[in-house]
């Protein structure tokens, strides 16, 4: 290691030594690799990749030209020019994998969300350092935080995929290594290099910002990228490959409040992390959302998932629905543990609505710039949709109409400056009647529930007087799933 660099922790010393030789061999061919990458970026082969990366751009361009001028058209030209600049001004960076996606192995030609970390410094020590840093960030993600890397843990906790997002990592947590976390999409056939898989992902990155591109390893080795026809068929996804149900945990303790509500005090989850992939009903759910609510313009994809793979579908404001609508998919992939007689409520998805002025434009339009969701005041609805959708699967319980879920015990605000400390789950009011239930098969019906933010006093009122009394108060004051952070308490 370089003398001016802090040494790695002892636990990574052996891993660093094992990586050093392969990294040195890889970097010895850097000049040739960079030449091939530049040639590929201006080739017809990359034009096809560009089209796949921005497949929704043409439709958005047409719609925007019809309704709002030529903004998207100019953005398309700007993106293309940005990719072209990579061929002359870009730098080839070898990135270490932070978070992968098991769907890559199911269909080798399918691009899936992945997170990687890369250093601007590309000497042997720095590339090895970045690879091990990726492992540490992944560990922080799995454990839900890190005492030694709190900011890196916070960054990776926002596990939605956003095209062309790069996030600078704080050097105080990276042993002074200048590095960034990148959201990419990649397929297994792009990762295979010269006959074997390579632990690094090549990126062409412009030092001044803008778009960046993943360069397939076959391209760097002077070979064509394998096509779908030349690849083995996808791995069959039958019952044998489905994730096993996690072992049951001790039953939650139940109390009954004066209002007749049953309070479940869940013990910490005993489930080990179980990697989940996208379920079979995602497209069916999206079609249901588009039929009843409106066109889905963006999906917040999870890069890695525990228990169930959760995506959040985003429907922007329209003249008929002048507010944002967010709906989950994936919660219904596993049945919830419902009491006897409530089998019809085993499958559910959640939703919430946000005012039109809510800072979602960056994610809605796919713009490259300051991320609205780096601010928890903007991101908390997405975070809580995913937390609540995963809760019944972590604790072998269920979520249904009139349930309330506090943020801890005692309950704390959902985000800094918010008066709300929990949620009431109920049938959504801001949707047409046909949206509430989706019959997927004779054995499976998905119920769609709204999550309504409520305060501690409102939660206590429900516990004292019952759910019906709280619902009556909320309806009298016009409170629905459309969030109003400034609304007054109803009790």
DSSP character at residue 216: P
Q: Residue ranges of the domains in the chain? A: 10-220, 239-476
3-state DSSP of 241-280: HCCCCCCCCCCCEEEECCCCCEEEECCCCCCCCCECCCCC
The overall pTM is greater than 0.75 = no
If DSSP codes are grouped into helix, strand and coil, which group holds residue 340? coil
Residue from 53, 29, 200, 207 nearest 128 by CA: 200
Name every residue whose Cβ is closer than 8 Å to that of residue 327 and which is 6 or more positions away in sequence.
Answer: 285, 289, 293, 312, 313, 315, 349, 350, 351, 448
CA distance 21 to 202: 18
What pLDDT was estimated at residue 3?
Answer: 37
CA distance 434 to 438: 8
Six-digit token string for 57: 């751009």
Residue from 293, 290, 334 nearest 310 by CA: 334
CA distance 35 to 46: 15
What pLDDT was estimated at residue 160?
Answer: 82
Q: Identify the H or E element spanning 328.
A: strand 323-329
Residue identified by tokens 């996690």 is: 246
* Helices then strands, each counted (H, E), the chain: 15, 19
If DSSP codes are grouped into helix, strand and coil, which group holds residue 306? strand
What pLDDT was estimated at residue 65?
Answer: 45
Six-digit token string for 11: 């636990």
Per DSSP, the residues of 106-164 read HSTT--EEEEEEEES--SHHHHHHHHHHHHHHHHHHHHT--SS-HHHHHHHH--EE-TT
DSSP character at residue 359: S
**What are the pLDDT tens digits along the chain (491 aa)?**
333 334 444 445 555 666 787 888 889 999 999 999 999 999 988 877 776 666 544 444 444 444 444 444 445 677 888 888 999 999 999 998 887 776 676 667 778 888 999 998 999 889 988 988 888 898 888 777 888 899 998 898 888 888 888 999 999 998 889 999 999 988 888 887 554 446 689 999 998 888 899 999 989 988 888 765 555 554 443 333 333 333 332 333 444 455 555 454 445 455 555 555 456 788 899 999 999 999 998 888 776 555 677 889 999 999 999 999 999 999 999 999 988 878 889 999 999 999 998 987 544 434 433 456 667 788 899 889 999 998 898 888 899 998 999 998 888 999 888 999 999 999 999 999 889 999 999 889 999 999 999 999 999 999 888 888 899 899 889 999 999 999 999 99
């Amino acid at each position: 290691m370089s003398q001016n660099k802090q040494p790695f922790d002892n636990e990574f010393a052996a891993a660093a030594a094992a990586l050093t030789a392969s990294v040195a061999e890889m970097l010895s061919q850097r000049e040739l690799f960079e030449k091939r990458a530049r040639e590929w970026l201006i080739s017809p082969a990359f034009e096809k990749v560009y089209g796949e990366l921005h497949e929704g751009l043409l439709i958005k361009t047409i719609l925007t030209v019809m309704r709002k001028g030529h903004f998207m058209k100019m953005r398309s030209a700007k993106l293309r020019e940005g990719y072209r600049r990579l061929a002359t001004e870009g730098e080839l960076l070898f990135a270490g994998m932070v978070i992968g996606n098991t769907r890559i192995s199911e269909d080798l030609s399918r691009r899936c969300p992945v997170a990687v970390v890369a250093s601007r410094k590309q000497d042997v020590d720095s590339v090895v350092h970045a690879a091990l840093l990726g492992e540490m960030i992944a560990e922080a993600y799995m454990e839900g935080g890190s005492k030694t890397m709190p900011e890196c843990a916070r960054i990776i906790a926002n596990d939605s995929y956003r095209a062309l997002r790069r996030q600078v990592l704080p050097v105080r947590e990276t042993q002074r290594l200048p590095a960034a976390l990148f959201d990419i999409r990649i397929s297994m056939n792009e990762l295979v290099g010269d006959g074997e898989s390579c632990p690094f992902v090549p990126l062409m990155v412009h030092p001044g910002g803008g778009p960046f591109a993943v360069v397939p390893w076959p391209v760097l080795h002077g070979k064509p990228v394998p096509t779908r026809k030349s690849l083995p068929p996808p791995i069959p996804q039958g019952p044998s490959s489905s994730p096993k149900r996690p072992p049951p945990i001790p039953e939650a303790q139940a109390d009954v409040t004066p209002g007749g509500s049953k309070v479940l005090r869940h013990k910490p989850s005993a489930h080990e992390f179980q990697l989940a992939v996208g379920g079979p009903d995602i497209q069916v759910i999206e079609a249901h959302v588009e039929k009843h609510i409106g066109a889905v313009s963006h999906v917040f994809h999870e890069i890695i998932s525990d228990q169930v793979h959760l995506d959040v579908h985003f429907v922007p404001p329209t003249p008929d629905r002048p507010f944002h609508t967010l709906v989950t998919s994936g919660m219904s992939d596993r049945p919830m543990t419902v009491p006897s007689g409530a089998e019809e409520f085993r499958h559910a998805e959640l939703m919430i609505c946000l005012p039109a002025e809510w800072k979602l434009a960056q994610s809605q339009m796919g713009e490259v710039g300051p991320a609205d969701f780096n601010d928890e005041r903007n991101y908390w609805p997405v975070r809580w949709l995913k937390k609540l959708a995963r809760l019944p699967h972590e604790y072998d319980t269920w979520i249904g109409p009139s349930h309330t879920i506090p943020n801890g015990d005692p309950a704390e605000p959902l985000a800094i400056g918010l008066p709300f400390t929990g949620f009431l789950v109920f049938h959504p009011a801001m949707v047409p009647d046909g949206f509430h239930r989706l019959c997927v098969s004779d054995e499976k019906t998905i119920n769609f529930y709204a999550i309504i933010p409520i305060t501690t006093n409102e939660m206590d009122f429900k516990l004292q007087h019952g759910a019906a009394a709280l619902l009556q108060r909320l309806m009298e004051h016009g409170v629905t799933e459309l969030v109003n952070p400034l609304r007054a308490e109803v009790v």
